[in-house]
Amino acid sequence: MTFRLRETLHVAAADVPTYPVYERALATARRSRRRTVLATVVVAVLVALTGAVLPLARTPVLDPASGADAALPDRIGLPPVGTLHATDRPRLGPASVLFSGQAARLQGGDEDGVVGVVGADSDRYRVFSVGYEAPVGEQVVLSPDGRFVARPAGTTEAPRVDLVDLVAGRTRQVASTVAGSVGTIPLAWSPDGRRLVVDDTVPTNPERSDYRRVLSVVTLDGERRTHLAESAQQPIFGGSVAFAPGGDRVAYQIGRAVTVADSDGRTLSSFELPAESWLAGKGAWTRDGALTLASRTVGSTEWRLRRVDPATGADSTPLPLPGVTGVTAIRLFGWGPDGSAMVVAYRPEPLSPDRFDQPLEMDQRTAYPNVRGVRVLALTPGAGAPRTLLTAPEQVLAVDIADNVITSGRTREASPPGGVGGRFWYWTVLIGLLVAGVATYRGRDRIGRWLHDRRVRRGW
């Protein structure tokens, strides 16, 4: 190589920009680490978000549509903090029991009117909120097979009934078609689970100071509505509604009268109730076609069930069932395979100003402020005393039971869940991951330098 060529190459090389190998390599490594950290955080957040659909919970994976082994638990507890919602995954499947009341975990905050749901064959709990205090069995009702829950919903301008599907995790809406209705409440299911009796409230003047009530039977698709009755507002209008086992007749109470209608809404009979007697509840029809009344012994708190002729209201064959004492009221769920009557008994609130051995309307007897707790009892023919089937914590003030659980007669030893529920863990994990992700991102330079220094020390 000549001197001139060498000088020319040196000059050309001096004009070529230098490449900072070390600095560029370090920057590339840091960038790769940041991308790895961000990718890890994103994946972790996505995994946590999947918990919204498949939350952490100590519940077994079961066929949600089964319900074949549905049984009544011998006790229920309060839903744990962070209990999964009724439509969360894993799906609950059919339910055996609904419960509501004024216990700490059933009201308060933005969850007023919380309803607890117990699985058909195990102690899996779910919850949902109505938005206000709505006693189950009266305003929130469980379908005969335990799959659906009917609850009031909507607004005064567009009232409706929501049907919560516990198997599919979806909610179907049945809008009210009663002109001027400002609220619609589900009262009872037909035995086949295809129809509902609903109670609509309609104002009779622009000031809405007076109302009338409209009782109807609607199909679940909302396409057919059968008018049953209409009346001025009364405290116990439609408070007790009962379908006959075949679903071809329905009995309902308005004031002090019981009316029996056919599936087309035609009145078949009507009779006045004796003093201190009420249509017994959703299980008021017996298997042989008689009606059952819940009656209080005058001057005491003892309650008994009586059979009457649905055509005349006259007393029929006496029921050899034990009485229930020391309660505000009883309500009949239905009949077990051994002929036992399954009832819920309302224990009185000691601080209530009302006296329950005196005349009092049924809606007052079961009102939350007048009740301390409830028990489910079996009144067995020939027995000397009721048998307790289900107990509940104090301030659980109303329960409803699926018909298939009642008619099967099956019971099981329960172990209500404790600790915290799946939603608590979901939010805890998610917030923890988000905090860790933010802290990692903000400290990415320090972490990068620390990792680099560690590698350098290891190379020495």
pLDDT tens digits, residue range 126-148? 999 999 999 999 999 999 999 99
Could you tell me which of 148, 152, 153, 143 has the C-alpha nearest to residue 165?
148
Shared-domain flag, residues 322 and 451:
no
Q: Give the pLDDT of residue 436.
A: 66
Residue 453 token pair: 């220094």
Say whether pLDDT at 380 is over 70.
Answer: yes
Say whether pLDDT at 452 is over 90.
Answer: no
Shared-domain flag, residues 318 and 235:
yes
Residue 7 token pair: 């000088």
Q: What is the largest CA-CA distance in the chain?
A: 133
Average pLDDT score over the chain: 86
Shared-domain flag, residues 33 and 120:
no
Q: Give the pLDDT of residue 63.
A: 45
Task: Break the chain down into helix, strand, coil percent, rounded to 5.
Answer: 20, 35, 45
Q: Percent of the chain at pLDDT above 70?
A: 78
Q: Give the pLDDT of residue 442.
A: 73
Given pLDDT bands bounded at 50, 70 and 90, which one contains residue 313?
very high
Given pLDDT bands bounded at 50, 70 and 90, which one contains residue 110?
low
Q: Give the pLDDT of residue 374.
A: 98
Q: Give the pLDDT of residue 427.
A: 47
> In DSSP terms, which residues pair with 410 in a beta bridge?
none
pLDDT tens digits, residue range 221-263? 888 999 999 988 765 565 689 999 999 999 999 989 999 999 9
Is 36 contained in some domain?
yes
- Show the domain range for 31: 3-50+440-459
Q: What is the pTM (predicted TM-score) of this model? A: 0.83
Q: How far is residue 144 from each of residues 108, 290, 375, 401, 402, measured CA to CA in Å? A: 30, 20, 20, 8, 5
Q: Give the pLDDT of residue 240.
A: 87
Is 357 contained in some domain?
yes
Shared-domain flag, residues 172 and 40:
no
CATH number (domain holding residue 150): 2.120.10.30
Is 428 contained in some domain?
no
Shared-domain flag, residues 220 and 256:
yes
3-state SS string over 159-195? Answer: EEEEEEECCCCCEEEEECCCCCCCEEEEEEECCCCCE
Shared-domain flag, residues 91 and 11:
no
Is 158 contained in some domain?
yes
Shared-domain flag, residues 37 and 71:
no
pLDDT tens digits, residue range 258-293? 999 999 999 999 999 999 999 999 999 999 999 999
Question: What is the pLDDT averaged over residues 57-86?
Answer: 76
Q: Give the pLDDT of residue 419.
A: 83
Is 114 contained in some domain?
yes
Is 297 contained in some domain?
yes
Shared-domain flag, residues 361 and 446:
no
pLDDT tens digits, residue range 198-224? 999 999 999 998 999 999 999 998 889
The answer to whether 74 and 389 have CB atoms below 8 angstroms apart is yes
Shared-domain flag, residues 416 and 276:
yes
Q: Give the pLDDT of residue 297.
A: 86
Say whether pLDDT at 409 is over 80.
Answer: yes
CB environment 407-427: b (16+ within 10 A), e (fewer): bbbbbeebebbeeebbbbbbe
Given pLDDT bands bounded at 50, 70 and 90, which one contains residue 10?
low
pLDDT tens digits, residue range 345-376? 999 999 999 999 999 999 999 999 999 999 99
Q: Give the pLDDT of residue 321.
A: 98
Q: How many domains does the chain have?
A: 2
Shared-domain flag, residues 46 and 110:
no
Is 432 contained in some domain?
no
The answer to whether 76 and 394 have CB atoms below 8 angstroms apart is no
> In DSSP terms, which residues pair with 294 in a beta bridge?
278, 305
Shared-domain flag, residues 451 and 377:
no
Question: What is the pLDDT averaged over residues 35-44?
Answer: 54
State the Rg of the chain over Cα.
32
Is 435 contained in some domain?
no
Given pLDDT bands bounded at 50, 70 and 90, which one contains residue 11?
low
Q: Give the pLDDT of residue 448.
A: 73
Shared-domain flag, residues 83 and 141:
yes
Say whether pLDDT at 159 is over 90.
Answer: yes
